[in-house]
Amino acid sequence: MNTRLVLIVAFVAIAGAQGVRELAKHERAHDGLEEPFAPSADSARIVSLGYREVWADLLFFRLVGYFGGGDATAPGVARLVEAIAALDPQFSKIYEWGARAIVATRRGVDNEVAMRAIRILETGLTIFPDDYKIPRLAGEIYLYELKTKDGDQRRRWDEQAARLIESSVRKPDAPADGATFAAHLRSKLGQRQRAVDGLREMLLITSDDRARGELLEKLGELEQADTAEIAAELFGERKRFQEAWKRDRPSISPSLYILLGPVSPPGFDLADLATGGRDLVGTEPFERLEPLTDPTVP
C-alpha cells in the first residue's frame, strides 16, 4: 500500500469519526438542508497541510456521494468543486464534470451559481486549453442556464455563448457539428455573414463526412443556394487550402493554419526600409542640386 493510499484511509477514518466536522463551519442551504464541509478556494491549500491531492480525492468522493443524494444543493456542490479545483488544478475531470454537476443539481440553481460554474470552466480552460468540451459547456451555460428579462443582457450572454462554441469547434478532436450549432446562434443574433464564414471554414478542414452533409445543408439554407453547387465550389477551395496548408505549415492543425496563415519571410526588406515602401521605378528622378558657389568670387 503506497503512502498516498495510507493517507487516504487515515483521513477517511478521521472523517468518519467526525474529526473533520469539528473543524468545519456548517452553513444552511436556502431550504434549510445541511451542506457538506468544504474549505474555501483561498484556504483549501492551507487546510490540506501540504496533502493537497489527498484532500482533493477525499472531497471528490464526498462530492460524488453528495451530488447523487436527494438533498444536494447547487451552492453546496459548487463549494466542493471549487475546493477540489483549488487543491488539485491538474485534476482535469473536475472542470467539466464539476460544472455540469453544479447546474444539474435540482435545488438552488440561479444566475449566481451558474456563473460560478462558468468561472470553474474558465479556470479549466487556462490549464487545458485544447479541451473542446470546456468552452462548449461554458457556452451552453450562458445560453440555457443564465436567465434575464433584460434584452441587452440576454444578447451579450448569447454573443458570449456563440463565441465560446465557435472556439470549441477549432480545438483538436472537436466534432464538426458544433459549427452548425454556432451558425444557428449567429443567425439568431442577425449575424448571417459570420455564420456563413464559420460554416465555410469548417467545411474546408473537416474530414467528417456525416458532419459535412449537415454543414452543407445549413450553409445552403443560409445562402439560399443549391447544396450541390456549394459542394462543387467548396471542393476546389478545399483542395487549394489543403495544398497550401501542407506546403506552408503541415506541422500545425488546419484550423490553426487558417488563423495564422503562411509563414512570414524572416527579416525585412532593406529596399523598403531605404525608400519608405515607395516604388521608385518609373518615378521622376530626384532634382540634382548644384554645389553652392559665391557669386562674388570669379
Across the range 57-63, mean pLDDT stands at 91
**Distance between CA atoms of 162 and 183, rounded to whole angstroms?**
8
Most confident of the following: 30-39, 52-61, 220-229: 52-61
What is the reported pLDDT for 129?
94
- Give the percent of the chain with pLDDT over 90: 34
C-alpha cell at 162: 456563440
Rounded CA separation 208/169 (Å): 13
Mean pLDDT of 142-169: 94
pTM for the model stands at 0.68
Domains in the chain with CATH codes: 7-127 (no CATH), 129-255 (1.25.40)
pLDDT in tens, 79-108: 999 999 999 999 999 999 999 999 999 899
C-alpha–C-alpha distance, residues 146 and 211, integer Å: 29
Most confident of 160-169, 216-225, 278-287: 160-169
Q: What average pLDDT does the segment 166-173 reach?
A: 87
**Which cell is 125 given?**
480552460
Average pLDDT over residues 182-209: 84
More confident residue, 73 or 23: 73
What pLDDT does residue 248 have?
A: 81
132 within 8 A of 168, measured Cβ to Cβ: yes
Q: Is 129 exposed, middle or buried (0-12, 13-18, 19+ CB in 10 A)?
A: exposed
Contact partners, residue 69, CB within 8 Å, separation at least 6: none
Identify the residue whose cell numbers are 442577425. 190
Q: Quick one: pLDDT at residue 78?
A: 95
* Band of residue 289 on the pLDDT scale cut at 50, 70, 90: very low
131-144 residue pLDDT tens: 999 999 999 999 99
Comparison of pLDDT for 113 and 183, the residue scoring more: 113
Could you tell me what percent of the chain has a pLDDT over 70?
76
**CA separation for the pair 56, 87 (Å, rounded):** 6
- pLDDT at position 179 is 86
Mean pLDDT score, 111-128: 96
Convert the pLDDT of each residue in 241-278 to its tens digit. 778 878 888 888 777 777 777 776 665 555 555 555 55
Judged against a pLDDT cut of 70, whether residue 298 lies above it is answered with no
CA–CA distance from 55 to each of 12, 13, 251, 255 (Å)?
10, 13, 40, 39
Whether residue 145 is predicted with pLDDT greater than 80 in this model: the reply is yes
- What tens digit of pLDDT does each residue of 2-41 get? 445 444 544 444 444 343 444 344 444 344 456 777 777 7
Please compute the mean of the pLDDT values over residues 159-180 and round it to a whole number.
Answer: 88
Instruction: Kindly state the average pLDDT of the residues 164-181.
Output: 87
Among candidates 140, 185, 135, 190, which has minimal Cα distance to 162?
185
Q: What is the mean pLDDT of the chain?
A: 78
* pLDDT given for residue 257 in this prediction: 75
Q: Which amino acid is at 156?
A: R
